[in-house]
Amino acid sequence: MSGDTESPLKTTPLTGLHRSLGAKLVPFAGYEMPVQFSDGILKEHLHTRAAAGLFDVSHMGQVMLRGAAAPAALEALVPGDMQALRPGRMRYTMLLNGQGGILDDLMVTRTEDGLFVIVNAACKDADIAHLRASLSSAVTVEPLDDRALLALQGPKAADVLQRHTDTKLSDLRFMASAAITVAGADCMVSRSGYTGEDGFEISVPAAGAEAVAQTLLAETEVRPIGLGARDSLRLEAGLCLYGHDIDTDTTPVEADLVWAIGKRRREEGGFPGASVIQRQLADGPSRQRVGIRPDGRAPVREGSVLTDADGTEIGMVTSGGFGPSVGAPVAMGYVRAEHAAPGSRINAIVRGKPLPAQVAEMPFVAHRYYRG
């Protein structure tokens, strides 16, 4: 960073640990975050798919919405069915604007006294202000600034975590959450993540975060993983990155996130942009988020224009790179609806030249979530 007017980067409770592990630290969403460790992004990615990776995601916002009215109140801002959510279960949803555009995407867990919400780092302050301004006085919006967030991801994650808790993890299914003790710390643990693998997100008091991280990293299956591999893992899993694949000009229907709109909510509406979304559900959107598999080995990056066989512009790449587990380049983006069918031949413009590609189904690597 340069210039006296820029705000200093925030740190997480694990920043000192990252430095001691040789992390390359970069600015991300106002924080100093590890983009990679000594293994490098490719090895970190493949290790997570094969064993277990530990990610620091403490830059994400953790917020409690306290009060019995919280589920019904939040439904006025999101298209998800929050009232049907049982204690200990979680749901993916989105804050929407009046045009059905996505202000942020969220993970929401029902607790005994309200809702526990995870928001994106770059949207954290705006989300909290929006919640405070929009929710009734019967709901208390409480940012949990004194907590860190770790993600333990990969096929060996459950075996590793089980060694450090007395809770029977085989009872905790995908998209379920429980208050459990991990390595002596009282944590809120959900069976979820952002890699497509089985794994856990661990909300832990900031004071105990480094000890928990050190305990997990001491296991032979676990390596520290940075934001670079986190991005390539989520891309292979077909998962959206806010501000890239979804934003305020994108609706959940266009983003192929219809599964996150509750059946009752589709029929009843009652959330911002409901009329726009209901119309798109009935008539289909004009554009659609799709997977893209370029021919050959050259990756296609965010911002690349997509064209049809005649050279007519039909869309844009929103995320792209090399998929280490696929062994080939992968991307996602938006195309006009008539080109969205898997197998459709398209071109990506790379350095001014058309690169042949085809629309592909996502995820590029099969999800391996634990459903019990």
Question: CATH homologous superfamily for 286-360?
Answer: Aminomethyltransferase beta-barrel domains (2.40.30.110)
CA distances from 348 to 27, 248, 345, 354 (A): 30, 24, 10, 5
Give the pLDDT of residue 46.
98
Contact, 301 vs 321, CB < 8 A? yes
Q: How far apart are CA 264 and CA 299, in angstroms?
A: 41
Give the pLDDT of residue 7.
81
pLDDT, one tens digit per residue, over 315-336 is 999 999 999 999 999 999 999 9
- Which ranges of the chain have pLDDT less than 70? 1-6
Q: Taking the CA of residue 142 as centre, how many other CA atoms within 13 Å lie in the half-sphere pointing to its CB?
A: 15
Give the pLDDT of residue 3.
41
Q: Taking the CA of residue 250 as centre, how many other CA atoms within 13 Å lie in the half-sphere pointing to its CB?
A: 25
Task: Give the predicted TM-score (pTM) of the model.
Answer: 0.96
Give the pLDDT of residue 1.
33
pLDDT, one tens digit per residue, over 127-158 is 999 999 999 999 999 999 999 999 999 999 99
Q: What is the DSSP letter of 261?
A: S
Give the pLDDT of residue 323.
98
